[in-house]
Homo-oligomer: A and B are copies of this chain.
Amino acid sequence: MDDFVLAGDLGGTNLRIAAVDRQGRLLYRAEAATPRYSDETRVVEAAFGLAEECKEQIGADPLAFGFAIPAIMDAAEGRIFSLPNLPELAGTPLGASLQAKLGLDVVLENDANAAAIGEHWLGASSEFSSSIFVTLGTGVGGGIILDGKPLRGPDGTAGEIGHMCVEPLGPPCGCGSHGCLEQFASATAIVRMAHELKSEFPDSKIIGASGLTALDVFRSGIDGDPLCREVFRRAGMYLGILLAGLINALNPEAIVIGGGAADGWDLFIGPLRAEIAKRAFHEPAERARILRASLGSDAGIIGAAYLAFSRFTAHSVNVN
Contacts and interface: CB of A to CB of B under 8 A. Distances in A.
**A142, A157, A180, A252: most-surrounded residue (chain B CB, <10 A):** A157
- Copy tally for this chain in the complex stands at 2
B72 A175 contact: no
B278 A157 contact: no
A272 to B, nearest CB: 13
Interface in A233-254: 237-238, 241-242, 244-246, 248-253
A4 B161 CA distance: 43
Contact of A177 (B238, B244, B246): B244
A241 B168 contact: yes
Contacts of A282: 81-82
Main secondary structure of the interface of A (DSSP, over half): mixed
A158 B249 contact: yes
A165 B241 contact: yes
Contacts of A279: 163, 165, 175-178, 180
Interface in A75-97: 81-82
A52 interface: no
Contacts of A158: 249-251, 284
Nearest to A149: B147
A299 to B, nearest CB: 19
Contacts of A74: 283
B283 A155 contact: yes
